[in-house]
Structure formats: C-alpha cells, structure tokens
Amino acid sequence: MATTQVPGNGKQSGTTPPPSAQREQLASHDPATGEVVGTVPVMTADDVDAAVARARTAAATWSAMSYGEREAELARFRAGLAEACDDLAEVIARENGKPRVDAMTEVYMALSHLSHAARRAEKALKSHRVSPGLLANYRATISYHPLGVVGVIGPWNYPIFTPMGSIAYALAAGNTVVFKPSELTPLTGVKIAEIAARTLSIPDVFQVVTGAGATGAALARAAVDKIAFTGSAGTGKKVMQAAAERLTPVLMELGGKDPMIVTDDADVDKAAEAAVFGALTNSGQACISVERVYVHEAVYDRFVAKVVDEVRAVKVGGDDGNIGAMTSPAQVDIVRDHLTDAVARGAKVLAGGPDAISGNFIQPTVLVDVTADMKVMKDETFGPVIPIVKVASTEDAVRAANETTFGLGSSVFAGKKAKDIADRIRAGMTAVNSVMAFSAITSLPFGGVGESGFGRIHGDEGIREFTRTKATAEESFALPVNLLSFKLPKGTYERIRGLIKQLYGDGAVARAQDFLRRVF
C-alpha cells in the first residue's frame, strides 16, 4: 500500500497549519510489518496557538447556530465519515495493528456517538426552572452555554472511537475543537479533519494538530476553554499541571485495572466467553479491558477450563485473526515485564506466557496462582492477558476488586444478586452479565474514579461536560421588604430571627406538618 504524506500546505482548513518546507516530520508505522504508513508534520507551540486562534474565530459562528442547524452540520460530517468508512478502517487497522473488522466496528461506534450527541444536545441542554425556595418572588433558571474552544488529546488504542467520545459531545454542545491525536495513529486524526473540512460549512470548527508529547503539552498550555484528555494517568498528571497555568478545566479519561467477578450462581460458560473477549479484544489494549478475574471457588475449575479452551481458539494475526499486532514495541515490553514478574513470583501459565511473544505479536495468556503483589494485578497491563484468582466468597471478590487505585470499568457475572454486587464496585461503570457494553450505550455516561480520572463523556453528562452552567435569578414581582438592599425597615433583625426559629428551630418539622395539615 502506498504511504500517505500529509503535505501540510495549509490550504485545506481543518487539517494542518502552514508549515515551512523543512518542518520536522513524524512517521506512522504499521506495527504488524514495520512499514511506514505515512508521515505528518510535527507541529510547534506556535502552530497550536494559531489553530486555537482560528478555532476561537469559528466558535463565534458555531456557537451562535441553533441546535437544529448544528445537528444538520454534524449530520453532514457523519455522512462524510460514513462514506469514507473503508478508508478510515484501513488507516486505523494499519496504524494500530488491529483487525479490519475491529477497525470498522470502531468507526461504527464513533458514528453512533456523533449521531447521538448531535440529536440529543438540545434536550440535554434545555434551560429549566428550579424552585426559588424562600425567594418566592423570583424565577430561578439553570441554562447551559458552550465553553468556546475545546482541546482534545487522544490515545492510540481506539484512534477514532475514543476521541470521538469527546469531540462529538463538545461539537454538539456548540464548541469548536482542536484535536491532538496520538503520535502512533496521527493519520486517522488527519483523515477525520479532512472530512470535517469538506463537510462542515464553517472552516476550523474541527482541526487536528499533529505531533508527539510536546504538541500535546502545547495544546494543554494554549488558550483553550477545556482540555479533554484521554491517555495514561502519568501523562494526565502532566496535562493537569500544564492546564493549571491558565486554570483551564480538564476532563481526565485515564487507564484502568478492570475487575470481573464471577459468583457461584453465575452462568459459567457465558462468563468465561466474556472474560476471553473482554481481556483479549484489541489485544487487551482497551482502557476497559478485563484485567483481573475473581472467581468463586465453587465454579473456579469449570471457569478456568472453559477460558483455556476458548483462548486456544483465538487466532493472532493474519487477515482472519481475532486479534492483531500490539500497537507499539513499548507496549510489548510492558506486557513482557508483567508476565515475567508474575512467573518469577509464582504465577502458573496455562496458555501463552512470556515466551509466547514474537515481535509485536503476543499469544493470549492465561495466568493462575496470581497474587495481589504482582505487577499484572496492580498496574495496567494493556495486553492480551487473563489473570484468574480463586476466591472463597463474593465478599472476598468485591473486596479484592476494590483494592486498586483505578476505577474505570468492571463486570459482574452472577444470579439475582448481580446488580447489588455491581453497586458495591468502586468504578465508573459496571457491566452486569456482560462486558464493556456500557461504552456502546450512547446515553450512558462514561468515565472513572481515582487514577482512572474524572468527568464524563457520552450521555447527557457528556454533553453538559462541555458547557458552562449559568444560574439566573430573575425577580418576577417586588415584595414590600427587599432584603437585597441597605434600606431595611426597622425590626428586620427580629423578623429574620423569628423566621430562623420558625423554619429551622426546635419543632420546626412539626410546625410545618401542622401548617400543611391546616392548609390542605
């Protein structure tokens, strides 16, 4: 396949700002073959600032549009992406290493979020009246307004689906967006921006700035109104520090160490199949991968046997592979380190293992006899690994599941207590008798707690995340006494004192009930 050179001639709005001919270039590689897929310019802080300034100009028009007008614009953007789905799937599969079918699924999920956000924005952001309480002569209203320009910094594991979780919701809420894709998957970002430039009637509503960490850091320091960051907790902390200089608010979508709990009354076969898919899909490079499995001792042997059986059928690499190459050698090194550490500390390998790594390909690995002190149980592995722990009770499973600094996704396979167990897991999301489903349900908020981050994308919360909330108190009629004035009548102190005692003092509840009885 021919490689792609992104010229960066600055003519096409939404792609790249005008670079000098000698601009430093960044190559995107196919991790399966090592081939260069294409190159992009490394953008400087000046380039980033210029993109943000253009986005600011565009925001004036974009934010003034009606919801209906923006929905129509975003429908054209969506149709442009949909028409280009083969090209998008191709570039994603090549840059990331995932099977083409996974890349196409990712495009589908990204478009479902774009569609949902555009359709839902008006309802989610509708102004509404609330009780004015004691200020009964006031109309109290909550309204939502676009922030302006949102900077989105994305990872490489789902190059369109993950950033679209921020991009779609930010755009639908009336903001313009400057997107910094991962240096491992920049061509996907460039392709999205080209389609935006072609389909949106206003230039610079969505732009991409390409480069590595320094370009991301420049965006975090730029004059944007919010930074939506998706990536590792370590980088997230740096982004927060940079954003702190301007007190720019941040949304943090970080890593996870998602637990799965399987109880003694679970459907064991279903749970095993789900564990295999949840841990191995995208070669385990998903923030909501199943990373730890706690199984009740009553069903443990059956579960482990089924998992090993299922794993043996998983094909790695090739056109019909279930999983592809790991996206980067650096990620392979992390997985190898976790597996080597686990084996050195006494874990037993039932499939795959540290010796089953060849180049960027890792055979699915099943580990048992794992303990909480192993890296594979503490840190994000982000690889095709299933560590399984035998537990004596559901209580033990919940306790172990919550013994983590992360708290992104989770899953529970159980009988009628499943929902109760789910509620006790300290995580942003839980799939019950399923895995990962919450990320595909567009109206559910997505995000984590602890080192998995804060703030929410997707759903109504995800739309409001990209707005400022305005509280309005409007006097609807004047009262004889205006407490918001220095011209208070004599005796006001005593009247307020009386009010306090009546409303909040001893017997206030009984008085209120008595009052209600008399009135109604």
Find the catalytic residue in 253, 291, 310, 380: 253
Residue 153 binds to ligand NAD (criterion: CB under 6 A):
yes
In angstroms, how far is the first alpha carbon of the chain from the final one? Answer: 79
User: Rounded to an integer, what distance in angstroms lies between the CA atom of residue 80 and that of residue 93?
Assistant: 19
CB closer to ligand NAD, 287 vs 295: 287
CB closer to ligand NAD, 62 vs 406: 406
> Which position among 7, 213, 249, 359 is part of the footprint of ligand NAD (CB under 6 A)?
213
Residue 36: C-alpha distances to residues 27, 40, 54, 192, 515 (Å): 6, 11, 31, 20, 78
Provide the CA 417 distance to its chain's centre, in angstroms. Answer: 28
Q: Is 253 labeled as catalytic in the residue annotation? A: yes
CB closer to ligand NAD, 95 vs 253: 253
Residue 239 binds to ligand NAD (criterion: CB under 6 A):
yes
Looking at residues 385 to 414 of the shown chain, list those that interact with ligand NAD (rule: CB under 6 A): 408
Long-range residue pairs from 311-317, CB within 8 A, at least 24 positions apart, any chain: 311/276, 311/280, 311/351, 311/352, 311/364, 311/366, 311/386, 312/351, 314/276, 314/280, 314/364, 316/361, 316/362, 316/363, 316/364, 316/384, 317/32, 317/361
Residue 220 CB: number of other CB atoms within 10 A? 26
Distance of closest approach, residue 455 Cβ to ligand NAD, in angstroms? 10
Residue 220 binds to ligand NAD (criterion: CB under 6 A):
yes
Looking at residues 322 to 351 of the shown chain, list those that interact with ligand NAD (rule: CB under 6 A): none
> Which position among 121, 160, 193, 217 is part of the footprint of ligand NAD (CB under 6 A)?
217
Provide the CA 385 distance to its chain's centre, in angstroms. Answer: 22
**Would you list the DSSP string of 95-135?**
HH---HHHHHHHHHHHHHHHHHHHHHHHHHT--EEE--TT-
Distance of closest approach, residue 144 Cβ to ligand NAD, in angstroms? 23
- Name 135's Cβ contacts closer than 8 Å, sequence gap at least 6: 473
Residue 456 binds to ligand NAD (criterion: CB under 6 A):
no
Looking at residues 3 to 42 of the shown chain, list those that interact with ligand NAD (rule: CB under 6 A): none
User: Rounded to an integer, what distance in angstroms lies between the CA atom of residue 290 and that of residue 278?
Assistant: 5
> Which position among 62, 77, 144, 156 is part of the footprint of ligand NAD (CB under 6 A)?
156
Residue 115 CB: number of other CB atoms within 10 A? 18
| Span near ligand NAD by CB under 6 A; candidates 99-107, 154-162, 306-314, 464-472 | 154-162
Q: What is the DSSP letter of 427?
A: S
CA atoms within 13 A on the CB side of 231: 25
Residue 190 binds to ligand NAD (criterion: CB under 6 A):
no
Distance of closest approach, residue 151 Cβ to ligand NAD, in angstroms? 9
Distance of closest approach, residue 366 Cβ to ligand NAD, in angstroms? 21
Residue 235 binds to ligand NAD (criterion: CB under 6 A):
yes
Could you tell me how many residues of this chain bind ligand NAD (CB under 6 A)? Answer: 30
- Contact indicator for 41, 19 with CB cutoff of 8 Å: yes
Residue 177 binds to ligand NAD (criterion: CB under 6 A):
no
Q: Is 85 labeled as catalytic in the residue annotation? A: no
Residue 96 binds to ligand NAD (criterion: CB under 6 A):
no
Residue 151 binds to ligand NAD (criterion: CB under 6 A):
no
Catalytic sites, residue numbers: 253, 287
Name the site residues for ligand NAD (rule: CB under 6 A): 153-157, 162, 180, 182-183, 212-213, 216-217, 220, 230-232, 235, 238-239, 253-256, 287, 380, 382, 408, 448, 453
